[in-house]
């Protein structure tokens, strides 16, 4: 098949959906399909265009058999206003439309949201080509924006977002969601159950794998040998609330063997540095992102890894770091809402424990408990790895997507996949 992946994020961006879309595209090529990707100039998570792409409107390149067609995005620094976000999405919608037409006609289009406005050029191009569209929903913008306080519930922007979502759902041939928590919300927006398929985000369990903590380069480089390392690595944004981690660390500074490590974008780390000083948490080490090839070693340096959400995050929000941590064979401590998808995923895996969100005391207490119980930490890590291999392996997800693409190209009704009932 000829498959067009329309995704704002792609390689070389190191976190978020970019690694997932990169693995999907390259996996499809290995199975004999032609794949081209329409994407933006890389900028995440720094929110700055990478140096080698600055000043360019369009770039077409090839990597591992995938044709990558990049287009201009208007981006303004690490702290965008609402207007900046709208202009960013709008610039990609306008510029990427040209790249969609600048190549062979696809048999199927696979599009990821957010950003939500991407559904407009995707729908128009799909209509022009007469080919089916699979919409991959990673988050529901209208609800997420309200939950984190970005906009008010009944504002004009939310009404527009809701209309765009309904348009996107109606023009898609099939909709893939990453967790079953999305299904009820889509039903409420008028989407037929027959149109929804649940395929969880995956992890390459051969790349992310348990490695020994001894002779670990990450521990060696940062004087962490002999420490009980509590690691958070990833995005630091409105939905996370890393202040909770800093406050928890301050409560545990009387135990010198417990070290907190937060790895993220340097600008965001600057804000957390102020929090460390405010709450007197000298046991927190703040580090910038490492190259992706260093990720397995960094994850292996941890005794436990953190998943952190705010209380008001959307119930169906499913951080992809859960699969990654499980695959690394390290225990999860998840500070997440009890009613959310992330809470359910961690408990179902048997690879971690949960505490209420935005509760630094509860977080500190469970970390201290695990510090004094290394046997439990090891057991959680082993069970998490087993669960990741059995449920989140990349090859299984690739099988499901390849079958889905073949079904919609053939024009048959797509059956509900088993993942919807997990």
Q: Choose among 392, 18, 387, 416: nearest CA to 198.
A: 416
Q: Dihedral, CA atoms, 106, 17, 352, 213, nearest 10 degrees?
A: 110
What is the band of 239 on the pLDDT scale with cuts at 50, 70, 90? low
Give the SS3 label for residue 69: strand
- pLDDT for the residue numbered 153: 65
Mean pLDDT of the chain: 91
- pLDDT for the residue numbered 151: 58
**Per-residue pLDDT tens over the stretch 247-279:** 999 999 999 999 999 999 888 898 899 999 999
What is the band of 416 on the pLDDT scale with cuts at 50, 70, 90? very low
Q: What is the pTM of this model?
A: 0.89
**Per-residue pLDDT tens over the stretch 41-54:** 999 888 899 999 99
What is the band of 166 on the pLDDT scale with cuts at 50, 70, 90? confident
Sheet holding 108-113, edge to edge: 58-63, 66-71, 34-40, 2-6, 108-113, 133-137, 174-177, 196-198
For residue 209, pLDDT beyond 80: yes
Residue at token pair 């499913």: 318
For residue 145, pLDDT beyond 60: no
Q: Choose among 160, 194, 151, 197: nearest CA to 178.
A: 197
* Whole-number percent of the chain with pLDDT over 90: 73
How many helices (H) and strands (E) are present in the chain, helices listed first? Answer: 15, 14
What is the band of 366 on the pLDDT scale with cuts at 50, 70, 90? very high
- pLDDT for the residue numbered 419: 37
Which residues have CB under 8 Å from 215's CB, separation 6+?
A: none
**Per-residue pLDDT tens over the stretch 22-40:** 999 999 999 999 999 999 9
């Amino acid at each position: 098949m000829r498959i067009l992946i329309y995704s704002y994020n792609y390689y070389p961006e190191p976190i978020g959906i970019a690694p997932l879309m990169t693995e999907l595209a390259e996996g499809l090529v290995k199975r004999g399909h032609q794949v081209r990707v329409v994407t933006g100039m890389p900028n995440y998570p720094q929110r700055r265009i990478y140096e080698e792409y600055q000043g360019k409107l369009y770039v077409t390149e090839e990597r591992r058999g995938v044709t990558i067609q990049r287009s201009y995005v208007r981006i303004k620094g690490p702290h965008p206003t609402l207007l900046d976000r709208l202009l960013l999405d709008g610039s990609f919608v306008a510029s990427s439309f040209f790249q969609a037409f600048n190549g062979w006609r696809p048999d199927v289009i696979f599009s990821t949201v957010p950003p939500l406005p991407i559904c407009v050029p995707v729908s128009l191009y799909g209509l022009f080509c007469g080919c089916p569209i699979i919409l991959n929903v990673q988050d529901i913008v209208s609800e997420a924006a309200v939950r984190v306080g970005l906009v008010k519930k009944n504002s004009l922007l939310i009404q527009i977002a809701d209309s765009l979502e309904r348009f996107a759902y109606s023009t898609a041939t099939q909709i893939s969601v990453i967790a079953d928590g999305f299904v009820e919300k889509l039903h409420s927006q008028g989407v037929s159950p027959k149109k929804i398929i649940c395929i969880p985000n995956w992890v390459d369990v051969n790349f992310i794998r348990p490695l020994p903590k001894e002779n670990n380069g990450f521990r060696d480089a940062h004087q962490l040998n002999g420490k009980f390392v509590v690691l958070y690595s990833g995005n630091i944004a409105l939905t996370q609330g890393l202040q909770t981690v800093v406050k928890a660390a301050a409560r545990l500074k009387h135990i010198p063997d417990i070290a907190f490590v937060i790895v993220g974008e340097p600008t965001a780390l600057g804000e957390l540095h102020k929090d460390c000083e405010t709450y007197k948490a000298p046991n927190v080490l703040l580090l910038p992102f490492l190259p992706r090839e260093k990720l397995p070693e960094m994850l292996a340096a941890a005794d436990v890894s953190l998943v952190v959400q705010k209380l008001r995050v959307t119930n169906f929000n499913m951080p992809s770091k859960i699969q990654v941590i499980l695959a690394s064979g390290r225990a999860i401590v998840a500070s997440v809402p009890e009613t959310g998808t992330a809470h359910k995923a961690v408990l179902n895996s048997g690879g971690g424990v949960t505490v209420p969100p935005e509760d630094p005391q509860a977080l500190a207490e469970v970390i201290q408990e695990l510090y004094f119980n290394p046997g439990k930490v090891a057991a959680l890590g082993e069970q998490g790895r087993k669960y990741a291999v059995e449920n989140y392996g990349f090859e299984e997800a690739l099988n499901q997507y390849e079958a889905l693409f073949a079904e919609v190209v053939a024009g048959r009704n797509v059956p509900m996949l088993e993942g919807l009932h997990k």
